[in-house]
Amino acid sequence: MTSEDTRPPLFPSHMTAKSCMSSQVFDHEQRQQRENPRSLTMSGHVGFESLPDQLVNRSIQQGFCFNVLCVGETGIGKSTLIDTLFNTNFEDQESSHFCSHVRLKAQTYELQESNVRLKLTIVNTVGFGDQINKEESYQPIVDYIDAQFEAYLQEELKIKRSLFNYHDSRVHVCLYFISPTGHSLKTLDLLTMKSLDSKVNIIPVIAKADAISKTELQKFKIKLMSELVSNGVQIYQFPTDDETVAKINASMNVSSQSNPLLFYVQKK
Ligand SMILES: Nc1nc2c(ncn2[C@@H]2O[C@H](COP(=O)(O)OP(=O)(O)OP(=O)(O)O)[C@@H](O)[C@H]2O)c(=O)[nH]1
Ligand SMILES: [Mg+2]
């Protein structure tokens, strides 16, 4: 064995004195940061700013990406809920009830709150529920979700992948709007949720809940939950693997009258 040092050089040969200088400044800054770490007080508050510095800096630089799929009949209140959730007016055009097939319309918005950037993509189902053939209503949604997975996989399989700049369009959450009939789920609702539940996190939402009384709403909620369970539809469950939140999340996941996953919305 030779005594030759096989380790890679500390600085690549093409690095100029200037870049060495800037890296020294950077090292100095890093050392200073290490010596004076940001002190976090244990106030019990869990939020973005209580994450480690490195994570906060990286997230601020990159921004966040969140993709929401809204599935619901025409005029059920999809745009109104999204506007309310993000406290913005997204100016979405109303759809017609006479579309011959379901079309998925994805719109991306750049939102900013203080220095945190969010790339929000809202995918709307135009013409959903207006077809006689049920399969024609949900199949385009399934195809859209699969196409986004495929696009991401293709990016990952590239020899030179650049996932850092890649706009990840995979759906994070599906808000499923249920009409406030007070009776039960429609066949279309069950078929659609069943075909989507293995691909996305479904959060069922009772739309226009002000259309029925509070007691009816409670009964409706229980009925819907039992129908979802008896038809084997899996809806989003809060994670229980972290022991600090396991207890509270487990209690929220129980499919009972108080299940908060079956939200209801009403216009203010
Ligand atoms: N009573 C009541 N009306 C609502 C509620 N949410 C929305 N609306 C009304 O329902 C109508 C349709 O709402 P939108 O938010 O445009 O519905 P949409 O699902 O986006 O409609 P399309 O995009 O055309 O399919 C509007 O007149 C809203 O004011 C609600 O919670 N309660
Ligand atoms: Mg709309």
Please write the tens of the pLDDT for every residue from 217-246: 888 888 888 888 888 888 777 788 878 778
Residue 119 lies in a domain: yes
This model's pTM is above 0.85? no
Which ligand neighbours the alpha carbon of 102 most closely? 1
- Angle 187-196/134-157 helices, nearest 10 degrees? 10
Residue 119: which CATH number? 3.40.50.300
Residue 10 lies in a domain: no
Please write the tens of the pLDDT for every residue from 56-67: 787 778 888 899
Residue 68 lies in a domain: yes
Please write the tens of the pLDDT for every residue from 43-54: 566 666 667 777
HEC string for 5-51: CCCCCCCCCCCCHHHHHHHHHHHHHHHHHHHCCCCCCCCCCCCHHHC
Pocket-testing residue among 80, 107, 126, ligand 1, by greatest number of atoms within 8 A of Cβ? 80
Q: Is 253 near ligand 1, meaning CB less than 6 Å away?
A: no
Q: What is the mean pLDDT of the chain?
A: 77
pLDDT at 136: 78
Sheet holding 103-113, edge to edge: 103-113, 116-126, 64-71, 173-178, 201-206, 263-264
Q: Is 97 near ligand 1, meaning CB less than 6 Å away?
A: no
Q: Is 83 near ligand 1, meaning CB less than 6 Å away?
A: no
End-to-end CA distance of the chain: 78
Please write the tens of the pLDDT for every residue from 240-259: 887 877 888 787 776 444 44
Residue 36 lies in a domain: no
Residue 29 lies in a domain: no
Which ligand neighbours the alpha carbon of 212 most closely? 1
Structural domain span for residue 84: 51-257
pLDDT at 143: 93
Ligand 1: which atom is nearest the Cα of residue 94?
A: 24
Residue 163 lies in a domain: yes
In which band, very low, low, confident or very high, does the pLDDT at 70 lie, cut at 50, 70 and 90?
very high
Please write the tens of the pLDDT for every residue from 109-119: 988 887 888 89
Residue 65 lies in a domain: yes
Residue 263 lies in a domain: no
Mean pLDDT to the nearest integer, 120-145 = 86
Cα–Cα dist 184/181, whole Å: 7
Ligand 1: which atom is nearest the Cα of residue 211?
A: 1
In which band, very low, low, confident or very high, does the pLDDT at 161 lie, cut at 50, 70 and 90?
confident
Q: By alpha-carbon position, which residue is closest to atom 25 of ligand 1?
A: 74
Beta-carbon-side half-sphere exposure of residue 247 (alpha carbons within 13 Å): 1
Domain tally, the chain: 1
Q: By alpha-carbon position, which residue is closest to atom 6 of ligand 1?
A: 77
Please write the tens of the pLDDT for every residue from 199-213: 899 888 898 888 888
In which band, very low, low, confident or very high, does the pLDDT at 176 lie, cut at 50, 70 and 90?
very high
Residues 255-264 as b or e (16 or more Cβ within 10 Å = b): eeeebebbeb
Q: By alpha-carbon position, which residue is closest to atom 32 of ligand 1?
A: 208
List, as ranges, residues with CB under 5 A of the ion ligand 2: 78-79, 92
